[in-house]
Every structure is written in structure tokens, then in C-alpha cells.
Amino acid sequence: MGFHIIVCIKSIIANGLYDRVVCSSDSRELNPYDRPALEVALRIKKELSGTITALSMGPEPCSFALNEAMAMGVDRGVLLCDPALAGADTLATSNALAAAIKKLAPFDLVIFGIRAADSDTGQVGPQTAVLLDLPMVTGVHSVEPKDDGLIVERSADGFLECFEVFFPAGLAVHSSANRPRDVGLLGIELAFEERQVKHWNLADLDISADRIGEGGSATQVLALSRVENAGKCEFLSGSAVEQVEALIDRLSASGVI
């Protein structure tokens, strides 16, 4: 099969969580944080040859995100699609993805975006890597292939960390890693003409029902509400110099500067 990269992507809700959203492909979009991850995979593929599989989990309209990934140059797309998978928290999602990734083996690299723009947890990547017993570096902004592994860099708290990882490995790619390529018309045409999204249901995965979906979730969302920010205007008093000093104090106390 040659070098094989699996990129896990998510189709997220585009219109906000409070509208009555009918789950259709118009209300969802490819998680923007997954685009730099796909771009990393495409660049590695160009350097090392091989193939890329995009993997996602969700109802049928989520397959369009896989089509978009294929339009960017990914070779195949797999959608885990089964009512039993619904209602999953990040742990149940990771369980399902890990089972699918095992089925897609052999692989050399599993790549995730840093987080999903709708749920914002950033947990699925690291959890899946642990379930697969893969070394993982998160928040990666630079990736250099070398021999049987990668040299990767990440920033943390003002420090630059450099790691060497050997295949098979996992990465979570930071949004600043690259400027993802735009989707071209030829890519879209080829993606829909030549490449079909494969659909896998629970029967295709070697995993028990109590580890996926709502039943396999360790956490549960009890409530979701919008934070209202009542804008207010405060006038600072005193001379210009006093106002400036007061302003600096306020801004640094609130962490803005």
C-alpha cells in the first residue's frame, strides 16, 4: 500500500447551536481546523508518496466534508454512519474512530485538527492516539519528514519544542501550521466522478455497542445556553495622563495586555 496517512475530520454545524438546524449538507461545513491537518497530509504525501484516507463520523450529510477532502487531493473517504453512533461524547467518538483506524491498517500516521470549531474540546485526537497506543504530539505547527519518522515543532507557553517521532504516530495540527490549499474545480470534479465515500456502520467495526454512541459516553451535556454580554460604557476621569494610567491598569488586569 505504501505510506498511508489517515486524517480524521469532522463535519461541524455551520449555523450556530441555537437555530433549529435541520441536519443537511447546507447547515454543515468541514471543520476549518481540519484544513491545516489535511494540508499537512497532502504535503507529506507529495514528499513521500503514498495515500491518504480521510475518516469521519456522523449522519449521511456529513459525507460532503469527505468529498471536500477528496477534492483537495485525499485518495479515499470513509464515513462511520450508524444511528447507534449518535449522541457520542469525545470518548465514544474516539472509541469508534480507533476501531475504524484499526480496520484501515496498516497506516503510518494519523492526523487530527487541533479542535472542532463547534464543540471546541480538542480531546478526540489525543484520546484516539492513546486508544491506539500511538505516540502523539499536539499543537504541531511544523512537520519535516525524515527517514522513518518526523521532526515536529510546537509552541507551548513561549517555548519552542522540537520532537522526533517514529512511525506509526499521531499528530494534532495547530491552525497556524500552514495556509491550506483552496479547493479547485478539477479536484471537485474528480472527487465526485472517481472517488466514492465508503460508508461503514456498526457491523463493519469490531467494537461493542456499549462503547459507542450515547451509551458509550462518559460525559453528558446537561444544558447549553448563550452567554449574554451586556455592553457597558465607563468613562474614565482625571487628566489625560491619569486616564491613560487607569486604562493600562484595566487592560492588563483583564489580560488584554
Partner 1 sequence: MDTFLSEKHRTIRRSVRTFCQREVQPIAKEIDQEATFPWEVVEKMGKLGYFGIQVPQTLGGAGLDTVGYIIVIEEISRACAGLGLCVTVHNSVAVYPLLAFGSDEQIQKWVPPLAKGEKIGAFCLTEPNVGSDAAGIESSAIRTDKHYFVNANKVFVTNGGIADVCLVFTRTEANAGRKGLSVIIVERGTPGFVVGDLEDLCGVRSNPVSSIRLYDCRVPLDNLLGKEGMGLRIGLEALDTGRIGIAAQAVGIAHAAFEEAVRYSRQRYQFGVSISKHQAIGMMVADMATKVDAARLMVYRSAVLRDQGKSFSQASAMAKLFASETSSEVTDLAVQIHGGYGYSKSYPVERYYRDARVTRIYEGTSEIHRLVIAKGVLGD
Using CB under 8 A, list all residues that contact partner 1: 24-26, 29, 64, 67-68, 71, 182-186, 188-189, 191-192
SS3 at position 71: helix
Closest CA to 80 of 101, 108, 109: 101
- Beta carbon of residue 191, minimum distance to partner 1 (angstroms, whole number): 8
Least distance from partner 1 to the Cβ atom of residue 190, Å:
8
Closest CA to 207 of 123, 128, 107, 108: 128
Residue 7 CB, nearest approach to partner 1 (Å): 18
Q: Are 57 and 97 in contact (CB under 8 A)?
A: yes
> What is the arrangement of strands in the sheet containing 136-146, beginning at the earlier edge strand?
159-166, 149-156, 136-146, 169-173, 109-113, 4-8, 51-57, 76-80, 197-200
Q: Of 59 and 87, which has the nearer Cβ to partner 1?
A: 59
Closer residue to partner 1 (CB): 79 or 91: 79
Shortest separation between residue 155's beta carbon and partner 1, angstroms:
25
For residues 48 and 42, the answer to whether their CB atoms sit within 8 Å is no
| 101 or 177: CB nearest partner 1 | 177
| Distance separating alpha carbons of residues 35 and 71, to the nearest angstrom | 12
If the CB atoms of residues 182 and 234 are measured against partner 1, the closer one turns out to be 182
What minimum distance in Å lies between the beta carbon of 68 and partner 1? 6
How far apart are CB 53 and partner 1 at their closest, in Å? 19
Residues in the chain: 257
C-beta closer to partner 1: residue 185 or 257? 185
| Closer residue to partner 1, CB minimum distance, 29 or 75 | 29
Q: Sign (positive/negative) of CA torsion 11, 15, 17, 23? A: negative
